[in-house]
Amino acid sequence: MKPVRYPKEALLRRIEAHPRIVGTVSVLAIIVIWSFLTRPGTSLSGVLASPGELVEELWVLLRKGYMGTSLWSHFQASLMRTMIGFTLGSISGVLVGLVIGQNKIIAAALAPFFSFVRPIPAIAYIPMVILWFGIGEFSKILVIFMSSFLYVSMNTAAGVRAVPVDLIRVAQTFGASSRQLFFYVIFPEALPYVMLGLKVGLALSWAVVVASELVAAQSGLGYMIMDAATFFRIKDVYIGVFLIGLVGLLLEGILVLVERKVVHWSGKA
């Protein structure tokens, strides 16, 4: 006897089958509510800018820039700092994580360092790094490097340790050399953990670069937000925050696409 499906259950199943549509509808609903609450004459109209006002201000920034510098230049400055620090931190993190995961002596030697550094937010290093290296580009890139390196290395090490022992023994039984064992067994099995570390590291890197620009910078989205807040340019503050969130979303989406290509087999029986 076939189970009876009620119309409500069928509708819920159809909605669950299209998460992107649900997400789009929710965003549109928020914009509609936002527009309604900030229409002229309401209590929030003088405090919160409406979506239409922000679009107009964004168009002005795209044409004229902010404080004599194009909006693209501010965006490019933040993105370049993030990519340099994140790339260097990720490469170093993967290499160190692979070593830690396979060598118990080195893991034990570095364990106190990682245990001490892990609870400290990367933003806390900003004043110290500025004190040591000044407010130049190196300071910002160094803080981004530190934030991405920690999470990528720890996740990579966890991935290496998670490789099933039986899988390694089977490969050794078939005569796999140490090099073949690493490239065809250990590293592929650890890749899902590596990709998770990269996603977390990239999100933190983007957050850290904005925080560092809030403290000491003459360009970048973080600088734009701080300068606009100082001179009470509220619309520019909102636009800066929106662009930071949008770029973060796009960067995460790119990594998700890369993950699907690189570890497409992960989670499949």
Q: Does 244 map to a domain?
A: yes
Amino acid at the residue 247? V
Q: Does 130 map to a domain?
A: yes
Q: Does 46 map to a domain?
A: no
Q: Does 50 map to a domain?
A: no
Cα separation, 254 vs 251, in Å, equals 5
Q: Does 86 map to a domain?
A: yes
- Give me the mean pLDDT over the 140-169 stretch: 87
Nearest residue to 171 (alpha-carbon basis) of 159, 184, 158 = 184
Residue 17 pLDDT greater than 70, yes or no: no
- Taken in order 245, 82, 159, 154, the sign of the CA dihedral is negative
Residue 84 sits in which domain range? 68-262
Q: Does 2 map to a domain?
A: no
186-233 confidence digits (pLDDT tens): 888 888 889 888 988 888 888 888 777 776 677 888 888 888 888 888
Cα separation, 207 vs 240, in Å, equals 13
Amino acid at the residue 222? G
Nearest residue to 220 (alpha-carbon basis) of 69, 81, 79, 74 = 74
Contact 130, 216 (CB under 8 A): yes
Q: Does 34 map to a domain?
A: no
Instruction: Say how many residues make up the chain.
Output: 269
- DSSP-assigned states of every residue in 177-194: -HHHHIIIIIHHHHHHHH
pLDDT band at 175 (very low <50, low <70, confident <90, very high): confident
Q: Does 216 map to a domain?
A: yes
CATH of the domain at 233: 1.10.3720.10
Domain count, the chain: 1
Q: Which residue has the higher pLDDT, 193 or 3?
A: 193
Tokens (6 digits) for 256 = 């998700």
Taking the CA atoms of residue 109, residue 114, residue 117 and residue 118 in that order, the dihedral angle to the nearest 10 degrees is -160
